[in-house]
Amino acid sequence: MTELELKYGCNPNQKPARIYMEDGELPLEVLNGRPGYINFMDALNSWQLVKALKKATGLPAAASFKHVSPAGAALGLPLNDTERLMYLAPEGDLSPIACAYIRARGADRLCSFGDWAALSDTCDGDTARFLAGEVSDGVIAPDYTAEALEILKAKRKGGYNVVKIDPDYVPAPIERRSIFGITFEQGYNDLAIDESMLENVVTKAKRLPHDAKNDMLLALITLKYTQSNSVCYVKDGMTIGVGAGQQSRIHCTRLAGSKADVWWLRQHPWVLELQFAGGVRRPDRDNAIDLYIADSAAFTQGDAWKRLFKVRPKELTPSLKTQWLSKLTGVTLGSDAFFPFGDNVERAHQSGVQYIAQPGGSIRDDQVIETADKYGMVMAFTGMRLFHH
């Protein structure tokens, strides 16, 4: 047995705390810092997500985790000019793995504040330099370049958490956990998510382009490691809204949809043109943008805006927001369990959803399919539930 003692568990009063293996050596190494209980829960869940994404798509993948659910996940596709601006990305060429993490964090920068980063590929200098400028608790990756390690070890006065994971590690087929002194046992969820799960298209519209299939795989794999109930909106190889841990399916769909709407509104020309005052930090920018999008009229009343902006922002009225949101199209939605009613599809349509992947199996599947057909959506029944607790 090998073990790593932790400062405490989920809360400071929960002592002692450790991670350990009954047999063999721990498949990870702490290269810097002192990760805690929740850090390792985020690290191990997020690593499984990015490893599965890389296997399913063949592309580098990254995730930004908070409290054992992803704030964002993305594939390593190049950043366009708009993405560079809205994600606060550096200029110049960037490696695919750096692009993957910048996009994963950019999915919901507000929720990614103080995140745990996961990388499917070696952490390089590009990725480390971006991480160095963000508020983050730690990172897990299969390896680190010497340059990246030097940069990360200097972060947070030398206390930034850096974990190296063995990419070839395979967990035991049976997993156990203890709740209230009682041990639970189940088989490890080794379900492989690939294109074969997308073959049962049940709507009148049947065409699934390659990019849409990748987005479906991204949505489903993200849901596999998101606290249930969960729904995920994806566009162009990145999550744009994740609704986790809700008690009803429609609330998942609404929550994730509202996040997708904010992601799209952040691309409105007036948001991109916001002129921040000198010295305004990245987290303050993110908060200001969120408040501006929520209610720009209230946010710019009085003189409070002068602390953040060089000039008073324009008023982004509800009608202007509605007009801009109508331009959001080509979105993919995944659900970890079936849609019990067509209202979920109606809400998804409001956020530009064109493709849906869900298990199917509701007694009202006909109603759900009929609603999807009304909007010309393509919906695949995967036949597999993806609950995660």
Q: Is 229 a catalytic residue?
A: yes
Decide if 142 contacts 122 (C-beta within 8 A).
Answer: yes
**Is residue 389 among the annotated active site residues?**
yes
User: Structure tokens of 187?
Assistant: 């088989």
Residue type, 133: G
CB crowding 198-214: b at 16 or more within 10 Å, else e = beebbbeeeebeeebbb
Contacts of 339 (CB under 8 A, 6+ apart): 249, 345, 358, 362, 368
Expressed in percent and rounded to 5, the helix, strand and coil fractions of the chain are 35, 25, 40
7 counts as catalytic = no
Tell me which of 67, 251, 268, 314 is the catalytic residue. 67
DSSP annotation of 25 reads -
Beta-carbon contacts of 18 under 8 Å, excluding residues fewer than 6 positions away, are 3, 4, 5, 6
Q: Is there a catalytic annotation at residue 210?
A: no
Paired with 333 in beta bridges are 233, 356
The CA distance from 335 to 223, in Å, is 7
CA distances (Å), origin 32, targets 9, 157, 164, 207: 19, 11, 10, 48
In sequence order, the 6+-apart residues with CB closer than 8 A to the CB of 305 are: 299, 312, 313
* Backbone φ and ψ of 115, nearest 5°: -80, 175
**Which residue is catalytic, options 66, 164, 259, 349?**
66
Q: Which candidate in 224, 229, 259, 349 is catalytic? A: 229
The one-letter amino acid code at 333 reads L
Distance between CA atoms of 32 and 208, rounded to whole angstroms?
Answer: 44
Q: Which long-range contacts (CB under 8 A, 24 or more apart) does 257-260 make?
A: 257/233, 257/347, 257/348, 257/350, 257/351, 259/108, 259/233, 260/233, 260/235, 260/328, 260/331, 260/351, 260/352
Of the residues 157, 206, 210, 389, only one is catalytic, namely 389
Choose among 336, 338, 273, 345: nearest CA to 310: 273
Contacts of 386 (CB under 8 A, 6+ apart): 191, 220, 223, 224, 228, 230, 336, 337, 359
Q: Which residues are catalytic?
A: 66-67, 229, 389
